[in-house]
Structure 1
Amino acid sequence: MLGFDGYMEQLLDELTGHDSHRRILPIVGMGGAGKTTLARNVYENSLVLYRFDVRAWVTVSQEYSATHMLSQALSCFGQSGNITDDELGIKLHKYLFGRRYLIVLDDMWSVKAWEEIRNSFPENGNGSRIIVTTRQQELVDYFGSSSLAVGFLDYENSWNLFCEATFAEQKCPPQLEGIAEKIVKKCKGLPLAILVLGGLLGKGPRTQEHWEEIAKDKSLVMEYSDDGDKPYNILYMSYKYMPVWLRSCFLYMGLFPEDHLIDVSRLIKMWVAEGFIKPTENQTLEQVAESYMKELVDRNLLLVGKSNEHDKVLSYCLHDLVRELCIKTANIENFYCVQRDPLT
């Protein structure tokens, strides 16, 4: 959340203001800019918990379905059932009616996705709010409401985020500062790129020779694809300098659907079945697999999804740009080939 204080304050003002109409609050920005992180921090803020009667978090994604979106919202309220889309929408509307609610629709890509569920959110005249995170300016224009545009970090916050990701609570060693500054500048203020590079450098040797190798690497360029939204080159470095024994496990993650919560026990069984995990003298297959997952988390490539009350991780997920990196690299290396609809 470094550099996000202003965004947090603005969004909290919008959420807790005196406007009694139901309002839609879009957060717009490119992939990896921190839209979901911002929304999540606001969603869990104590002021928000006090202000709203009920809250629900719904992940939309490019490949969405009304059934899944409505079911996610109802599950946040402890409501479920094997019923039709129309019945799901009616059930959600009835539950929200009269309550002051906050709904987060995370990673929405199209107007059509909103139109399929919009009637499920009643206008209660009590200050209910809907936050929409998106990369699409078209959606912001459609809603016609004031939006929050999440931009790039300034250099100071970029540097602080890099140091936090690379050195944890420690400072950058003086002999590496000059090289580190060059690396941070090449990230151009994109939080995801800074975190991934910080994870890469934090796991490698802290020597001038190694860091100079990274700084001079031709992949260390913030180069985007035609849609201007996918900094593949700079993220690819996380794979290029990854230990060989971890690469297959990482690429395999791209086979899971976008924004999917990956069950830990299921992933271990799949890695073992594919032959990616080998036992050691002191560790079982499960323990080795768990150490691989921790390694990917430490590299900021794998995100913790859900944990139990004892902080044991139950599921993980991938940022969609990291998932795209898995798929693209796997195709190039003939590790697997993902067939896609030409329209997506």
Structure 2
Amino acid sequence: MAQNDINDDETVGFENEEEKIIQYLNRGTNELDVVPIVGMGGQGKTTIAKRVYDNDVRAWCSISQTYNQSELLQEIFSRVTGSKNKGYQDDDVLVDALADKLRKSLMGKRYLIVLDDMWDGMAWDDLRFSFPDVGNRSRIIVTTRLEEVAKQVKYHTDPYSLPFLPLDESCKLLQYKVFQQEGCPPELRDVSLEIAEKCKGLPLVIILVAGIIKRNKMEASWWHKIKKSLLSYLGESDGCSLTTMQLSYDNLPDYLKPCLLYMGMFSEDARIPVSKLLSLWIAECFVQNIESAEDYLMDLISSNVVMVSKREYDGKVKYCQVHDVVLHFCLEKSREEKFMLSVKGDFQPSDWKENRVSFSFSNPNSHPSV
């Protein structure tokens, strides 16, 4: 679980949706309320939540599909108070103590808590009594892909289903991600509109496509080649993000592909220390030295498959992360190419045919059966 820093890049689109969410936060009941935002992966739920992330006391927490209750409470408590709670050995004692401390730390304060990417209503059941209601219009934003989860967390406000980006905003986002402040040349505007239409209003798809186009952004023939590729890659919206990731992956230079797949070694929502990541790349012989490794990382960031999470004061990238759609692609592709095996439960050595294995458990005391 990691707090999501606001990205460096300017965001485009969703101005009307942002205003609606702000109205939900500022108007209505004085009681504690939950604002559920529903949409498919890559549709922009997290982006909207980031824009309205401002209040007296605030905390942002991403919830992985295999979350741990004590870690979840610890993360929120740390964000709210700026401190860490340690010293409990028994997990049940830790959960009870953290829940009580979190509730006390929020008592009497107006707060905004963002619970990003909730997959299971049980996570809400584990947290709900830690959020006090003292009639001061405190709010909790929950983003989820699942309508049933949105209904389960609802208090007073009905779930808000995030619409797809309209074509004009899709084209504006595509052009911005390709050209930044330069502006799109007139001779490329028509083809950019045609490509934006193929992205079906999904911001993640638009951003991934922009990362491909950027490599030869001034060549009209390249834009038309990408448009033609989209016709063969993209099907229904539900699989649109993953198939676009395949297109992005296919267009990466061969030397970057193992570096991207290696991101699957890290857990969902993890903020990855760049110094650690680059050292691992060098140890794996993906790259020979730190300078080249830094260049590789910047190439992946420029391709929009890796995101900047936090920068140093001098502008260098300190932490990076990947969208969960990108992570899912890396895990699937790694297994397909026998690059890496990701294990989330009991493990039999006979199952291991890959060169690397990554273990992930919701219970920190669990371990693989080998």
How far the C-alpha of 1:221 sits from its partner, in A, is: 3.7
Give the letter aligned to residue 324 of structure 1: H
TM-score normalised by L of structure 2? 0.83
Q: How far is the alpha carbon of 1:4 from its aligned partner?
A: 1.1
User: Is residue 342 of structure 2 the alignment partner of residue 332 of structure 1?
Assistant: no
Moved more, 305-314 or 238-247: 305-314
**Does 2:27 align with 1:55?**
no
**2: distance between equivalents of 1:175 and 1:271?**
41
Give distance in 2, aligned partners of 1:340 and 1:80: 27
| Counterpart in the other structure of 2:257 | 247
More displaced, 132-141 or 142-151?
142-151
SS at match of 1:118: helix
Residue 224 of structure 1, CA deviation: 5.0
User: Which letter maps to 1:3?
Assistant: G
RMSD of aligned Cα (Å): 2.1
Q: Secondary structure at the match of 2:143?
A: strand
Map of 2:291 onto structure 1: 287
Give the corresponding residue for 1:212: 224
Residues 1:307 and 2:311 are matched in the alignment: yes
**Alignment correspondent of 2:207:** 195
2:328 is aligned with what amino acid? Answer: E
User: Which residue of 1 is the match for residue 273 of structure 2?
Assistant: 263
| 1-structure distance, mates of 2:105, 2:51 | 25
**Is the 8 Å Cα contact of residues 42 and 204 (structure 2) preserved in structure 1?**
yes
2:139 is matched with which residue: 120, 123, 129? 129
Q: Could you state the TM-score of these two structures normalised by the residue count of structure 1?
A: 0.89
- Unpaired segments of 5 or more residues in structure 1? 279-284
Per-residue CA distance 1:10-47 (angstroms, 9 max, x = gap): 1112222262100001111111011111111110xxxx
Corresponding position: 1:156 with 2:163: no
1:101 alignment counterpart? 111
Residue 68 and residue 223 in structure 1: after superposition, are their counterparts in 2 closer, same or farther (change >3 A)? farther
Q: Which runs of 4+ in 1 moved over 4 A?
A: none
1:178-224 CA-to-partner distances (Å, cap 9, x unmatched) read 43333221111110000110011012363233333322226754335
Contact 1:58/1:106 (<8 A) preserved: yes
C-alpha contact 1:179 1:212 (8 A) present in aligned 2:
yes
**Which among 53, 73, 77 is matched to residue 76 of structure 2?**
73
Give distance in 1, aligned partners of 2:279 and 2:38: 38
Contact 1:71/1:80 (<8 A) preserved: yes
Unaligned runs of 5+ in 2: 1-10, 89-93, 347-361, 363-370
Secondary structure, counterpart of 2:16 in structure 1: helix
Asked if 1 retains the 8 angstrom alpha-carbon contact of 2:198 and 2:231, the reply is no
Q: SS in structure 2 opposite 1:56?
A: strand
1:59 partner letter: S
Task: Give the structure 1 partner of residue 352 of structure 2.
Answer: none
Show CA shifts across 1:281-338 (max 9, x none).
xxxx222111111111111111111234443322111100011111122222222233
Aligned to 2:76, the other structure's residue is in SS state helix
1:229-256, CA deviations, whole angstroms, 9 ceiling, x for partnerless residues? 6632122111101111111101111111
